[in-house]
Structure 1
Amino acid sequence: MKVEDFDMFCTLLRQRSGLVLTPDKAYLLESRLMPVARKWSLKGLDELAAAVRSKRDEALLRDITEAMTTNESSFFRDQKPFDQFKAVVLPALLASRAAKRTIRIWSAACSSGQEAYSLSMLLNEEGAKLAGWRIEIIGTDLSGEMVNKAKAGLYTQFEVQRGLPITHLVKYFKQVGDKWQLNDEIRNKVQFREYNLLTDLTPLGQFDVIFCRNVLIYFDQPTKGKVLEAMAKLLPPDGVLYLGGAETVLGITEKFKPMEGQRGLYILAK
């Protein structure tokens, strides 16, 4: 790939998704964009780059962006955040929200929906404590393809084997051919929509808990700061932010601070 084409694609991706690619990731760019070139009846990345420069077709730009966005997810991924939610976050919310009996949770960059549905299953298991409560779980992703997959709630054998307890598979899924369909009870508790984290987040409304795990690692420092400060505005004073194990707010923003004794959990700095 020509250096100028690589640079052009990198600039495009950074502007549209926040994704930062270094020169050693050229192979990744080539492997993921070749299918896009074929879809658009182009012979290779040279022609794809030329098409971007000449047409700026929104559908083409969207295909390029979605092809490069990492869509890695699994049910109850890393498990500990869900244990923390059940043992630490949820009891605190049940106490502090007892008057309005409403909890809103955002799964940002939700990919194909496993994180949001894991939360839905977890909350369903806590059903007795939540009788009379309104629970809203919102999952958003940049990729329209991933949002549609999440809405369908249909997963492969490989996907349900990754992190999903067998008891949950039996209780909440039914087999459809060689795939597994999540039941309506769990699916109906989650709303999915297409949303870009680099745009204005205020239309999403306020949340009590935000899951934004393993997303910031793909952004440069200014973009990380921008996203975190935008998320801070969506949380009440006692709101909670989840980040991935390799992520931190330290040195990026002063809006958040780590929750004492809880790795990966952040609260608003007073």
Structure 2
Amino acid sequence: MMGASASESAYRVLMGVLESRTGQTLSPSRIWRIEMSLKPVMQRHGITDLDALVGALVTANSRQLLDDTVDAMLNNETYFYREHSVFDDIAATALEHLRAVNADRRRLTIWHCGVSTGQEAYSMAMLIAEQGARWAGWQIDIVGTDVSHQAIARARVGLYSQFEIQRGLPVHRMVRWFDQAEGGWLAKADLRRRIDFSVQNMLTDRPPLASAADLIFCRNLLLYFSPSMRQKAFARLRAVAAPQSFLVLGAGETVLGQTDQFVASPRLRGLYEPADQPARRPDTARSIAA
């Protein structure tokens, strides 16, 4: 049952706002949490209930209110090294393959789409940094984008609470890459400058990539899209993917029955490659000096 203070039309308008701004739809479990999620926004803007919020969105023409409302309805769940085995496989196999196919230009572009508050991108930056000798002389571009202004603002700062820093991050990495600060743990400047964070809508904006993406993380984002929006999203991902590249989805996601743009990787279980990816030359990996 919907909250007594909100009319059904208010819920419909808010759901429409979210979908038009982000492409995301609300599952039934998230619909029931709308009012709770939006309470801080309403308090901050002096609004009494959801009907009044909808009225303000329609009449006030406030970009800040609109951004705050959309941000509050998004699910920004993320943590360091989420599904650690995925990062282990990327470190051991995917990066080796990408290092081989990009040996001539010595450049690697990694895009985190739907990066939320940044933990995933920082995880990848730490992984690359810890393989420093292997990437000496390479240009490594790590880009994190999200539709949420608040999430990207937090990602740029790189400050995480004790709970967030302990969630998936081994102690030795916490000590190496973060400094204790007021309010939690702050990513060191050397780590922060390895990542370019920006606000982007992946359905409408071209990501700020200097070259085609060799490794794309788009994890647990497409779950919130309708089938038609999901197909559009896959097409957008393929449009910026390098000919030989990898796509990383969430554990509960797949391309099967969703798109013909990507196929399951024959090299790495759980990763995907462009459907038209050229075959790898068998001698490519051996052509790189250790």
CA–CA distance in structure 2, aligned partners of residues 186 and 264 of structure 1 = 27
**1:104 counterpart letter in structure 2:** T
In the other structure, the counterpart of 2:288 is: none
In the other structure, the counterpart of 1:220 is: 226
In the other structure, the counterpart of 1:241 is: 247
CA–CA distance in structure 2, aligned partners of residues 164 and 141 of structure 1 = 22
In the other structure, the counterpart of 1:94 is: 99
TM-score of the two chains, using structure 1 as the length reference:
0.95
Task: Tell me the SS of whatever aligns to 2:108.
Answer: strand
Superposition map of 1:179-258 within 5 A? 179-201=184-206, 204-205=209-210, 206-258=212-264
CA contact (8 A) 2:109 2:209 kept: no
**Aligned counterpart in structure 1 of residue 78 of structure 2, from 59, 73, 80:** 73
1:158 maps to 2:158: no
CA–CA distance in structure 2, aligned partners of residues 213 and 264 of structure 1 = 11
TM-score of the two chains, using structure 2 as the length reference:
0.89
In the other structure, the counterpart of 1:168 is: 173
Superposition map of 1:12-51 within 5 A? 12-51=17-56
CA RMSD of aligned residues (A): 1.5
Q: CA deviation at 1:36?
A: 1.5
Q: How many residues align?
A: 270
Q: CA deviation at 1:55?
A: 3.2
Task: Tell me the SS of whatever aligns to 1:238.
Answer: strand
CA contact (8 A) 2:42 2:48 kept: yes
Cα distance, 1:88–1:119 mapped onto 2, change above 3 Å = same
Cα distance, 1:131–1:229 mapped onto 2, change above 3 Å = same
Unaligned runs of 5+ in 2: 1-5, 277-290
CA–CA distance in structure 2, aligned partners of residues 194 and 25 of structure 1 = 23
Q: CA deviation at 1:211?
A: 0.3
1:64 maps to 2:73: no
**Aligned counterpart in structure 2 of residue 133 of structure 1, from 125, 132, 138:** 138
Task: Tell me the SS of whatever aligns to 2:14.
Answer: helix
**2:259 counterpart letter in structure 1:** T
**Aligned counterpart in structure 2 of residue 52 of structure 1, from 54, 57, 68:** 57
CA contact (8 A) 2:67 2:149 kept: no
Of 43-52 and 256-265, the range deviating more from structure 2 = 256-265
